[in-house]
A = this chain, B = another copy of it.
Amino acid sequence: MKKIEAIIRPFMLEEVSKALTNFGIHGMTITEVKGFGKQGGYLEVYRGEKREVRFLPKIKIEIIITEDLVDKVIEIIQKTASTGNVGDGKIFVLPVENAVRIRTGEQGLEAL
Contacts and interface: CB of A to CB of B under 8 A. Distances in A.
A39 to B, nearest CB: 10
Given A78-B100, A94-B95, A102-B89, A29 B17 contact: no
Contacts of A28: 35-37
Nearest to A77: B102
- Please state the number of chain copies in the assembly: 3
A91 B85 contact: no
Contact of A29 (B2, B33, B94): B33
Interface in A1-55: 1-3, 6-8, 17, 26-38, 54-55
Given A28-B36, A29-B33, A111 B94 contact: no
